[in-house]
Amino acid sequence: MNRERDSETTLEEDSQPNDEVVPYSDDETEDELDEQEPAVEPEQNRVNREAEENREPVRKECTWQVKANDRSFHEQPQFMNTTFFCLKESKYASNAIKTYKYNAITFLPMNLFEQFKRAANFYFLVLLILQAIPQISTLAWYTTLVPLLLVLGITAIKDLVDDVARHRMDKEINNRTCEVIKDGRFKTVKWKEVQVGDVIRLKKNDFIPADILLLSSSEPNSLCYVETAELDGETNLKFKMSLDVTDRYLQKESALAAFDGFIECEEPNNRLDKFTGTLFWRNSSYPLDSDKILLRGCVIRNTDFCHGLIVFAGADTKIMKNSGKTRFKRTKIDYLMNYMVYTIFVVLILLSAGLAIGHAYWEAQVGNYSWYLYDGQDNSPSYRGFLTFWGYIIVLNTMVPISLYVSVEVIRLGQSYFINWDLQMYYPEKDTPAKARTTTLNEQLGQIHYIFTDKTGTLTQNIMTFKKCCINGQIYGDHRDSSQHQHGRIDEVDFSWNTFADGKLMFYDHYLIEQIQSGKEPEVREFFFLLAICHTVMVDRTNGEINYQAASPDEGALVTAARNFGFAFLARTQNTITISEMGRERTYNVLALLDFNSDRKRMSIIVRTPEGHIRLYCKGADTVIYERLHPMNPTKQETQDALDVFANETLRTLCLCYKEIGENEFAEWNKKFIVASLASSNRDQALDKVYEEIEKDLILLGATAIEDKLQDGVPETISKLAKADIKIWVLTGDKKETAENIGFACELLTEETTICYGEDINALLQTRRENQKNRGGVYAKFAPVLNEPFFPTGGNRALIITGSWLNEILLEKKTKRSKILKLKFPRTEEERRMRTESKRRLEANKEQQQKNFVDLACECSAVICCRVTPKQKAMVVELVKKYKKAITLAIGDGANDVNMIKTAHIGVGISGQEGMQAVMSSDYSFAQFRYLQRLLLVHGRWSYIRMCKFLRYFFYKNFAFTLAHFWYSFFNGYSAQTVYEDWFITLYNVLYTSLPVLLVGLLDQDVSDKLSLRFPNLYEVGQKDSLFNYKKFFISLFHGVLTSMILFFIPLGAYLQTMGQDGEAPSDYQSFAVTVASALVITVNFQIGLDTSYWTFVNAFSIFGSIALYFGIMFDFHSAGIHVLFPSAFQFTGTAPNALRQPYLWLTIILTVAVCLLPIIALRFLCMTIWPSESDKIQKNRKKYKAEEQWKRRQNVFRRGVSSRRSAYAFSHQRGYADLISSGRSICKKRSPLDAIIADGTAEYRRTVDS
């Protein structure tokens, strides 16, 4: 079968996805690629192609222009954009960050506009207007105005408090200070006053206010160290280097003030690791790349001061571009509640229309012929029916409860405070409490299906610790004394004998210390000497303290371990490295440094010892080291067994080896190395080939084992969330081996897990897609959709996929532009139709492929996506939301997680040492991943149950209250007369029934927090929407209808032909209204008592207090005194005292309440006895459940030699500092003659041969 190809592009078929590469082409789209293609006429192809080949290349993407120290340049007309009508503003963003919504002028109009966008609020505004029309108004205007003002006021106050908090946060950031060149000298200004083109000075530990071009610094050759924790959660330092020309000429304040450089660069974008531009200065041009750019959000470290030129400010900075679009998040219950309110609207209109028709018929049959009903208006029955329709809209308006939304907001606010106040989610080490940063999503926490989590800083602490090692086939690191005897408990090793020990390493194997100090086994000392010399770590001394700066925390941990065990790395120059070996300093000449990269997976160093010997030391992944070992290595198998042990303990490993090199062998190799260093093309490949020649026949020394420390409680949390049927996906930028290792450490993966990789599922998806195409055809739309599983049932499977494979599988892979120039015009209608059809087919194919991928991934128990970009993280979350219709939660700690956090239904930020970018964009924040289980299984579940119980009851009590008018209409000629007094209607939802249901919504719990955590399967009711759905809504509606019938007809029957004890008839309208209202208030308040699972004094007081408050206010409103003051507003004078002194009426009220509640009590008892829920069972047996048992982590049984996975190697997923070291740019010394070659970028590594 010939596959159809897109006529516009050619796929990169020959290139397989690279697992080590992060596909950072986030901003490129097919449209952009099309735009870059020249539009030509067919016959002009050849001429234009020749012209293109001969023309100077123009970098069209470099359209962003920056002029140093010239603010007026950026205010020129060509840089102004029209924003509103004729108003113009500069395309260069100011550096002020704005996250608030209102200011003092816009708050009132904008807030009211937003509130009236809610259907219920707008509906009540219309009602208020209708009630002002005398012809149709059957209720006083204040019955709607008072509740409406209360709702609007409470919501406005809440919005104001939230916005004031945002104002404060913005003000705190915008008012940070830095030094800017003004009037020829540095002056302190606020961040918000900084503009593009300003030259600024930053000092040690300062946050970087904008994206700036590094001009110079206090370090040699203008090196600058930055911490990128705000961007990616990594705390290890990265280095940036300025241009040589700016380093030489821009050190002094006067030179910086006179600097007039001009930059042309790319437009603002979200690519954190890429930058393309050119600096024009002094009649020369200098290329710029990301190594010379300091990004906003980073922190200056180990650099006293640095100078920079602002290129992007404010919203144009890369960190802000990566923050993604701010989405207005609403819960599933919110959407459902709105649909139910619309349903009530429809019911209300139908009822009002039916009763209006009834009134028109009644007028025609009865009203016109009853002289005593004449009102002086000669209106036709149809017109009277029309007016009655609007009258019933007003009377029955309480079916749509005006206080519903404000009550929901109050409950959510209270739940948010409970989260903030939860001491079990407080992290004392960092003084960090949990924080609900939004008040609108709490109940959604009880409905999560998928969790998407970052790795670094979220699951892990990003702290590497040296745990164990294998030297000469012997494993060290267990709890042993100096005589090699195992002990269950033993004191830590005392490193006080070593003056260079940092005192932070916790190690318990005293036998290793004995071996080092005795020197009986030279391999032991050689092992730690290799760790001290084979690395790219930088060292500096502060107040006599030695500080290491490593490209990766793994490498820093190894060098620090060697330092503690007696082999301290002290200093390095361009040509030498100095080591303290058991207290004796020795300096070695560095002949070559062979740095790590993702293909080599190893690094080596060639040194000459003081005795004149040449040695190569190498460390790397076991997979590449074992291929290069000498055949006669005696400890090869023992070391492999040790690696398997370390792998089962989820430790990160490296193999260490060395080899002696003869003078002649090195001289011969060095010639090839120099030739490869000077190669003008394919230099990297040439160097790798030369490295291969020297890195062979190595002697194995042993292996290291480093622990990438998980945060406390991560495995337990993941286990409990899995029992709650929540699936966890890990989305990380780390390399595949590291991510897989963490998967085993946190028990997402086990030895029994079958792991599928990108190449495996690609074949499965291609097969599925072919089958779907074969099924398609003329009858495809009539064929049933088959949801066949991708894997056989049973078995535990996990998916590990890299960003490159993700792009490949999801058809997001970027395409090459065809070298053949496209036919843009003229284009016939047929060509346009074919092109549109081709695009449509491609989109449909892409959508189906994405759906297939999501279906396949969701069949796996765990998914790990590694080497993914921030945009890919958000894309994965969006795909699951789109195709699974599932509630998602994303949790992360860095700026690279912000897009994912904003895309998910709920975003959680980890607030720790990694910065605040993720927290600022999140809905909830706390300090440790383990608190997630309490947030979901306790607070989320409780919030969901409480909200569902609140809504069911709220709809019930309003139906019971309102529908009494419907039954009454059959006895009053459908005249829209109310059953109750006006003031009762006004205060029913506000005072008489509000507090008990609010307290249930705030405080109720079916089981305790401990039992919620002990039985995670209780969480599933929220995932299944079991407690609030249309079925539950109609049950509440039916319950309300029955209650309203009982409330109306039992008092009606009791009043017919009745005489009181005093001979007076109590059966007047006002007494009837009091009786029905009293029975209603008692019934609905006792009903909420039946719905309450967790009784406190406050609940009991609110129920009986509400009933007492009702009677107190009613007797007051029915008194003669208030009638004298306001005769028109209070017309039920003396009704309550007169009616309620009749025992007959009290018996009627008691009977009515009993008939309403007794069937409910019987039904509840029957359900709990015959069909108990999980929570019912736990409640019944709660006395049997004592203190929580400590969750015991399952132990993996290790079987020697049968581990199914390779150990992960402990290296950074980026290049180290080798280029920096070998170039000498970090060293304060005179440059050697050969440095001219190296500095010119013609060699990868530095080598020096003693003369």
What residues are annotated to the active site?
454
Compute CA 436 distance to the chain's CA centroid, rounded to the nearest angstrom: 14
Cis peptide before 826 (omega within 30 of 0): yes
959 neighbors 404 (Cβ within 8 angstroms) = no
Beta carbons of 311 and 295 less than 8 angstroms apart: no
Indicate the residue type of 302: N
Nearest to 462 by CA among 779, 754, 297, 236: 236
Residues with Cβ within 8 Å of residue 748, at least 6 apart in sequence: 718, 728, 730, 798, 862, 864
Non-local (6+) Cβ contacts of 572 within 8 A are 538, 539, 578, 590, 1221, 1227
Contact 349, 935 (CB under 8 A): no
Cβ neighbors of 805 (< 8 A, separation 6 or more) are 17, 19, 757, 758, 759, 762
Which element (helix H / strand E) includes 165? Answer: helix 142-174
Q: Which residues contact 380 (CB under 8 A, 6 or more apart)?
A: none
CA distances to 20, 462, 604 from 596, rounded to whole Å, are 13, 21, 8
1060 burial type by CB count under 10 A (0-12 exposed, 13-18 middle, 19+ buried): middle
Nearest one of 953, 957, 952, 951 to 398, comparing CA atoms: 957
Considering only the C-alpha atoms of the chain, give the largest distance between any 2 of them, rounded to a whole number of Å.
131
Q: Which residues contact 25 (CB under 8 A, 6 or more apart)?
A: 271, 814
Distances (CA, A) of 1212 to 298, 1149, 1216, 1225: 19, 77, 8, 22
Residue 1091 CA to residue 1098 CA, distance in Å, equals 15
d(CA 760, CA 1110): 70
Token pair 């008939």 in the structure block, residue = 1155
Q: What is the Cβ-side half-sphere exposure of residue 796, based on CA atoms within 13 angstroms? A: 8
Q: Are strands 862-866 and 797-802 parallel, antiparallel or unpaired?
A: parallel
H helices present in 570-694, as ranges: 622-625, 636-648, 663-677, 683-694
606 vs 533: CA distance, rounded Å:
10
What letter would DSSP give residue 510? H
Alpha-carbon Rg for the chain, nearest whole angstrom, is 38
Q: Residue 957, exposed/middle/buried by CB under 10 A (0-12, 13-18, 19+)?
A: buried
Contact between residue 97 and residue 170 where contact means Cβ atoms under 8 Å apart? yes
640 in Cβ contact with 653 (< 8 Å): no
Distances (CA, A) of 171 to 92, 110, 179, 191, 322: 21, 22, 18, 10, 22
CB-based burial, 1163-1177: b 16+ in 10 Å, e otherwise: eeeeeeeeeeeebbe
The H or E element that residue 446 is part of is none
| Structure tokens belonging to residue 766 | 């291609």
> What is the number of helices (H) and of strands (E) in the chain?
42, 37
Label residue 794 left, alpha or beta by phi (over 0 means left) and psi (-120 to 50 means alpha): left
CA 1131 to CA 1135: how far, in whole Å?
9
